[in-house]
Amino acid sequence: MQPIRNKFMKNSLPVLIFKSMRPKQWTKNIILFAPLVFSQNITNKQLALCSFIAFVVFCMLSGSVYILNDLVDLKQDRVHPLKSKRPLASGLLKPSSAVIAFIILLILSTLVSFSYLNLLFIIVAGAYFLLQVAYSLKLKHIVIIDVFSIAAGFLLRVIAGAEAIEVTFSTWLFFCTILLALFLALSKRRHEILLLDDNAINHRRILFEYSANLLDQMISIVTTTTLIAYILYTVNPETVNKFGTDNLKYTVPFVLYGIFRYLYLMHQKNEGGSPEKVLLNDKPILITVILYCLTVCYILYVV
């Protein structure tokens, strides 16, 4: 009796909708807290609350976009070895229910934004939503623009985090965010090509425009540029004057190891198609991220 009940609960409408929102992907929205940390306002309860509300809004927005994306890619996902297990692609969730959930999430995120956050945040959040819709419908089919669209999504998250607490968005944060996001987006495309092999084009037409060799060259360029940008940021006079120390340079080894570990997983373990999965499942990466965050907080708030 218990196994039957558990199966029913797993296939209940709320659970299926929640799965379609891809909660594991919400780890990407943690980047909204970067402006709070680097503006040295993490101990400010009011600003911390604003950042948390912004995080919740983006979880609802991104969740609604994932549902829309599954609706748009329904036929392609059914032939994908992994995506075919999603609620919509597997047939467990009806398209009509998914549409209703999409509308409700969009309304809720709008109401919360207008109730607790400022106009500039709402504008940025709106731009993020429109970008994601455009990506789902058109931009993901345009070579190179598709990966830039993914990177822009990360960038808009950071800008939204800055606007939510009304702090200046750093130029260095702009460069580091978009470069790291491009690295992750290109890695995702490479993983898709290798995973799907001859069936890649049937799943996503844009993959026809790429090759593993081309993506490796792009990833090499972006990886080098990302590391250089972050190193320059830590020792830049503007950064040193702002924080009163150049100790951020000691966080560089964490960034180097994290990127090298990701490249290792991508090339040797055929992973890298899902950054959030790597973050949650690979202990060395997870430990590195935690140590990086603790070191940054120690330098900015204790030293």
**Tens of pLDDT, residues 252-273:** 999 999 999 988 888 887 776 6
Q: Of the CATH numbers 2.40.110.10, 1.10.357.140, 1.10.10.10, 1.20.1260.10, which one belongs to the domain with range 16-169?
A: 1.10.357.140
Residues 234 and 237: their CA atoms lie apart, in Å, by 9
Burial of 241 (0-12, 13-18, 19+ CB in 10 A): exposed
pLDDT higher than threshold 50 for residue 211: yes
**Tens of pLDDT, residues 148-197:** 998 999 999 999 999 999 998 888 888 888 999 999 888 888 887 777 66
Domain boundaries, the chain: 16-169, 170-303
Cα→Cα distances 181→84, 134, 295, Å: 26, 18, 22
pLDDT higher than threshold 50 for residue 4: no
H/E segment holding residue 149: helix 145-164
Residues counted in the chain: 303
Mean pLDDT for the chain overall: 86
Q: Can you give the pTM of this predicted structure?
A: 0.85
